[in-house]
Structure 1
């Protein structure tokens, strides 16, 4: 019987100073995320402290993953102590703890890095130690809104036999222009490869940048992905594997990653950077004895900016994996969304002929008009749901509720559902003004060796399921596939904002080119206030701003007219006051003076002439 392994993806659950525990199923390792939610600074160089109470059990910290970047924070420092400085979940100040304090980790002057301790080494916290609390300090650089910075702890309950230390071996990402650094983590021979740009400058919006990495001539396996960017910089980061890259240059601008067969390994979009780890004994084969000789990383930039270092960190191992993994790309390019139309369905389908595979994780992807994507298996007329999710909630890989096996003779059917509230037709395309219909599915399988010229070649059994190849099968798509999937209360706010109109992008002033900053990395927009989201279409925004400017001009003109009129009245009152002592102050005479202004002026002019005869 085929044993299915599943992926464990570390999701950064952001709630206001709450922590989430996500089981990685890697020898009992789990993660704790200590983060803010939509925090707003009130000044530059503000120090924010967040506390986490360690459970009353023997635990060990074996890794750190800062969840921020240098355009937001100068540093992130992790402390351990018996008593935090404040009883609040977070506080602003310059002190983390009361009493003895231990510094466990410090991140600064680099893009976010995963730092793991060597095998059988951990930092003891919790029971039988003085370390009852973890306090994370974020030193903010700028005045900003909607920030979710913090730290992810990698922890385990497994006791260590050798020794326990209070210092950590930090894996630094060495960033050179499209060069890669290999940092040995010494965790069962796992190492990392960082494929990033250095101080890259885009020349227009929606620019596609490709970065290549030549895989060494040895049998290697990818076991994890860590995108090094965020949604204010990039719409998505896609990782490809192929035999020959499109260009011989280390990086290039365009719309093509490779020449010849291309496999999509991982896609990140519409989420904060997440570390995705494959389970034990499962890996994506690359290098020797595979057609995957190069890794090409595509960063789809949103804005015009300078000094960007976006890219991807690969977690790799030389240890052979019993089960291989790969990613299926399913979807359609037959997209034409009519204006002001709701519930537009774009179906796709295919048949499968190949070895047994098992789907265990999936990610959906559309642009701003997507409502819900769904994928189903059809076997002997029976329809089984594989994944149904809204791209407005998440476009990161999510575990399936249970693995779904696909065998030869099965069909895959699915669709993307859209709502177009705009006054124009939306078609398929690469920019955020166009649309896409993608569902990525990770699957595991037992590799079948293909011998060619006395060499064993590993080939993925199910690379694509594209367009509507079996249209009769799409009639089996359930009617409820158009309905927005159930969501948690935590996601409700984001969904309400994203469905308020057709546009759901992070608010950045697109007319402002991001200036170059020393040590600038994947940025959230430096030197300006950031808010969560805005939902104006470009044309609507122009109309609104034009209307506001016209109203402002009219208001200024009205104020000026009232000012001139008031000055004339004041002048008249001053003239009246010249001879107020000689004027009759009875009610009748006062009334006569006010109602017969012409006579009054003549009398005043005559008096002035007699007093100043030489003025003319």
Structure 2
């Protein structure tokens, strides 16, 4: 379903399509574009009036009362009046073609003025992608992070940055900052006293949900996506970093799990989750929905300004 982010498995979401009131339309075939991995079932209803005037709404009338789609979408019935089921799909069923000279008659003078598509979601993985990057600090330097900023476009849900120290089972991931890029994108204070030294890794990740019906690429325009994590830090003395940008090609070429220097079992459980307020949207607020990590520094007495 285009322009949709289902929040949890078992969400029921609906969208409507207005038929031509002046001309009758004849439906002779149904060609679903879904798999059982993504949807438990799909129903196509004919309605005189749709259940909602919204583009997308929660139509989980048979779901539990805690249907999580209600958090982001208005709850309403599938049809407000004149409900009839035209088509049903599940379990990877193939295209359905009606016999010759047989059709469903909709629009025009018929009572079916709208088609309403209902999807019972089974899996959310198709919407999600995580952009990841990590670089080793090779210089003899000690950095003290004190502020961070996140940046992404419309599909970004949460950006996070980490200091990674140690190897194998002794490796430790310490959060520098984590915030939704859909909130005001200023610099926010680092909550822990952290140092980054030679031999440590700096790592960043951006979780994104693609609500479009097409591929979104990394780029500089508003229709592209971008994953940035900035960090301000100070250092004693005048020594600066030689390598001031950390980048990766992103998915599917690079993930933390493909980096032999990183132990993904040590990544914090909440690394890719939207944090609670003030660094994430308040409960019930709708979420909206490149790749490089950048850090920036502020000038102070005996402390240098720089960007990593």
The question of a shared fold, defined as TM-score above 0.5 by the shorter chain, is answered with no
Which has more radius of gyration?
A: 1
Band of TM-score, shorter chain: 0.3 to 0.5
User: TM-score if structure 2 supplies the norm length?
Assistant: 0.44
Structure with the larger RCO, 1 or 2 (CA within 8 Å, 6+ apart): 2
